[in-house]
């Protein structure tokens, strides 16, 4: 299974064929004698922040197909052929979006207890092909009105300060006379 360094928009799903009490040991990299997820995948690099270990019983009515479509954005028609098989799974699954491979090109060689279920594509945004300029008045935007510059504001403050000082001096002279 090839993973390119620029891969994006794919979600890989693996069943984990272990009893519930073996899951903790499988996901613990310090557990002796039990393969870790990275080793079971044969992966060179794996970002733990993007590895989803899902207990299927926790999904309830949503199911794995709903988790993939509603939670991860996989297109419903993408998983339609596998919907019954996804619904029939029990136990735990490993869900790996492309970003889980940390942008590293690698070849995955999954082995027990992992069993590959499928690889599903997230829908790609379609670029708009018609770039006709908008004609409405609202699309033109408002003309930019520039406020006074910092120098103009400073000049006004200085003029007001001088005027106040002039008035104070005039009042003092009038009182003294």
Let me know if residue 73 belongs to a domain: yes
Query: Is 162 among the domain residues?
Result: no
Cα–Cα distance measured from residue 27 to residue 29, given in angstroms and rounded to the nearest whole number: 6
Please report whether residue 161 resides in a domain.
Answer: no
Residue 149: burial class (beta carbons within 10 Å; 0-12, 13-18, 19+): exposed
Type and span of the H or E element at 52: strand 52-55
What is the tens place of the pLDDT at every residue in 47-94?
A: 888 888 999 999 999 999 999 999 888 999 999 999 999 999 999 999
User: What is the percentage of the chain residues whose pLDDT exceeds 90?
Assistant: 47
What's the total number of domains in the chain?
1
pLDDT in tens, 15-41: 999 988 888 877 766 654 445 788 899
What is the domain range of residue 81? Answer: 2-121
How are beta strands 2-3 and 106-107 bridged, if at all? Answer: antiparallel
Please indicate, yes or no, if residue 173 is contained in any of the structural domains.
Answer: no
Largest CA distance in the chain: 107
The pTM score is 0.67
Query: What's the mean per-residue pLDDT of the chain?
Result: 85
Inside any domain, residue 154:
no
Report whether the peptide linkage leading into residue 56 is cis, meaning its omega lies within 30 degrees of zero: no
156 inside domain: no
**d(Cα 52, Cα 72) in Å, to the nearest integer?**
11
**Backbone angles phi and psi of 44, in degrees to 5:** -85, -35
Q: Residue 138 domain-assigned?
A: no
DSSP state of 144: P
Instruction: Flag whether pLDDT at 123 surpasses 70.
Output: yes
115 located within any domain: yes
């Amino acid at each position: 299974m090839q993973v390119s360094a620029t891969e994006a928009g794919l979600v890989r799903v693996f069943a984990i064929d272990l009893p519930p009490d073996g899951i903790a040991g499988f996901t613990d990299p310090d557990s002796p004698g039990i393969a870790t997820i990275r080793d079971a995948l044969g992966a060179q690099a794996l970002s733990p922040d993007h590895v989803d270990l899902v207990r299927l019983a926790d999904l309830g009515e949503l199911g794995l197909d709903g988790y993939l479509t509603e939670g991860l954005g996989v297109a419903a028609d993408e998983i339609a052929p596998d919907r019954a098989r996804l619904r029939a799974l029990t136990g735990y699954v490993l869900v790996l979006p492309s970003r889980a491979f940390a942008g590293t090109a690698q070849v995955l060689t999954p082995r027990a207890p992992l069993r590959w279920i499928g690889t599903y594509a997230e829908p790609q945004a379609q670029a708009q092909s018609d770039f006709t300029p908008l004609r409405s008045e609202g699309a033109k935007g408002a003309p930019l009105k520039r406020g006074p510059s910092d120098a103009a504001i400073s000049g006004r403050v200085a003029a007001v300060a001088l005027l106040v000082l002039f008035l104070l001096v005039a009042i003092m002279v009038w009182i003294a006379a």
